[in-house]
Structures are given as structure tokens and as C-alpha cells.
Amino acid sequence: MNRLKLRWTSVAWSVAYLLLLLSLITSVRVIGMLFLIVPVVVLYSTLTLRQFIMHLIPVWLIALIIAGQAGLFLPILGIFFMIPGIVMGRMYKKYQPALKVIFAGGLTALVELLVLLLIATAVFHFSLGEYVRDVIQISVAPLQAMADVNSNLSDVLTPEYIIGLSNYTLTLIPSALIIASFTMAIITHAVSRPLLESMNYSVPRLKPARDWRLPRSLIWYYLIAVFLEFIARSNMTGVLAAIVLNFMPLVHLAFTIQTIGFVYFWASQRKWGSFLPFILAIVVVLIPPLRIIGIIDLAFPLREYITRTKR
């Protein structure tokens, strides 16, 4: 009975994988990409390698038949998202720590993105700079149409401004790729872990949010980056500018995570349950300046003070 149940569950996940693959040729492709690794992780974690391959090949063939000419790239994307899923599923089988699994999955996706970008540039003569400029141009086109009747907008949306915005966006591509890769890995773990546990597979959990703490040395790296950005704001160019500009969004995200950890720690000390800190965590994400709480928590023994005060 258990084997029969697992077989039908695997078929259901294969169907889910097929639907997510087909979503890549629709308007909801972004949502599909965020969750496309999940079926791969579930299937690889619950099946043997031979069974896993036997489930995936029919999915790719059916996707090709349904999508037709528009879906010729689907097997390529399928392979792309399959590799991080295999990495994470293999580590789940070995019961590796959750943070290590997420890091490995995110790093694998990041390397794949860089390799794809390199291949597209070298083989297909893809220009990331031109692509970014085209996207920016398309994005500001409605505003430029409004500028014909609004002189204030026409003064802002100058060709120099658009070129500067394109160059700035292009500079931030590395941090965007890092954040996108690890976001997919985090979402995959957050969804896959409870699903696998519901199928009686033991999967390691992340530490409780109240225990999330970053290395204190991050404060010094942040201060150095702020100092470099401040003293060279007007004339900083080249590699140094790219490093500083890409480091700041990443460290801001890290401080946001630290703030969420502090919120859950404070809630646990106050015995607020789980709903209120969850709402407060959403508020922290929606109001970026609140990350200063994470900076203070990291720089000073704030949690130790709260614990000591409570005693």
C-alpha cells in the first residue's frame, strides 16, 4: 500500500513539474521559476536515480509536444532548474544541515546563471548591456509620453538620465543574480521540507528565527563600504564602485534578516506566540529603514540586555 501511495504521489509531482514547466511560456513565468525546483527536490528525495530519470523524461517530452515551437527551450530550462534540485535533494538524503543545503542550492543556481550568461554572450552574441538599456527604454516609454505634456518630467527624463539609469542597473546585476539564486533556494527549502515531512521523510530544519544571528564582523565590512561610498560618491568608478554598489544591497538584506531574528527573539521573551512576530517580520520587510534594529542588535549585546533585564 505504501509503495502504491508513493507511486501515485510521484506521478502527481511529475504532473506538477509539467505544469510549472509550461508556466514558463505564459505570463506567470516568474512565479513558475520560483517554484520549479520544488518538484525536482521532492522527486529526487523520494525516488531512486533510475526512477527519477524515468519520471522526468516523459515530462520534458510532453512539455515539448504541448508547447510546440514556443517550448523548444523548455528542456534547457528544465535541466537548468533540475541541477540545483538534484544538489538539494541529494543533501536531504544525507540529512545535511538546512543552512548548508540552502547555500549549496543557491550557489549552484548562481554558477548556472553565470555559465548561461557566458554561453549566451560567447555563442549567441547576447549583449547584457544592450538588453538592460532596451528594458529601461521600454519601462520609461510611458513616462516619456507623459513628458510631452508635463515639462517637469521632460526635465528629468533626459537622455543622460536614461543612460545613467541603465548603467546603474547594469552595475547591480551581480547582486541581483545572487539575491535571485538564493531566494529560489530558500523558497524551495521552505516548501519542500514540510512536503517531504508529510510524506514521512525526515528533513533538517533551519534554526528557529529567534536564534538567527549574523557574524558581528559584518558591521565592520558595512562601515568600510559606507566610508568608501561616502568619500568617493562623486568620482568612484570601475571595479571599486561595482563592489561597493553590489555589497550594499546584500548587507542591507542581511541586516533585515538580523532584524527579523531580533523580532522573533523579543516575541519569544514576551511570549507573544507566532502570529504577531510574523506580522512584524512582514512590516520589517516592507519598511527597509527598520533594518537599523538589526544593525543595533549586531553591534551591541541587545539580546543579552533584554534577557538580563527580564531576570
Examine the domain organization and report whether 152 and 279 are in the same domain.
no
- Exposed/middle/buried for residue 204 (C-beta within 10 Å: 0-12, 13-18, 19+): middle
Q: 198, 222, 244 — which closes off a domain? A: 198
Q: Do the domain assignments include residue 93?
A: yes
Q: Do the domain assignments include residue 26?
A: yes
pLDDT tens digits for range 126-164: 777 787 787 777 777 666 666 566 666 566 666 677 777
Examine the domain organization and report whether 236 and 172 are in the same domain.
no
Examine the domain organization and report whether 119 and 245 are in the same domain.
no
Examine the domain organization and report whether 214 and 192 are in the same domain.
no
Q: 156, 174, 198 — which closes off a domain? A: 198
Q: Determine how many CB atoms are found less than 10 A away from the CB of residue 288.
A: 13
Q: Do the domain assignments include residue 203?
A: no
What number is the average pLDDT over the span 2-12? 69
Q: Work out how many domains the chain is built from and give that number.
A: 2
Examine the domain organization and report whether 193 and 101 are in the same domain.
yes
Average pLDDT score over the chain: 82
pLDDT score, position 232: 58
Numbers of helices and strands, H then E, in the chain: 15, 0
Q: Do the domain assignments include residue 262?
A: yes
Question: Which structural domain, as residue segments, surrounds residue 180?
Answer: 2-198
pLDDT score, position 111: 92
> C-alpha grid cell for residue 84?
540545483
Q: What pTM, to 2 d.p., does this model score?
A: 0.82
Examine the domain organization and report whether 147 and 232 are in the same domain.
no
- Could you give the CA distance from residue 152 to residue 156 in angstroms, rounded to a whole number? 7
Q: Do the domain assignments include residue 136?
A: yes
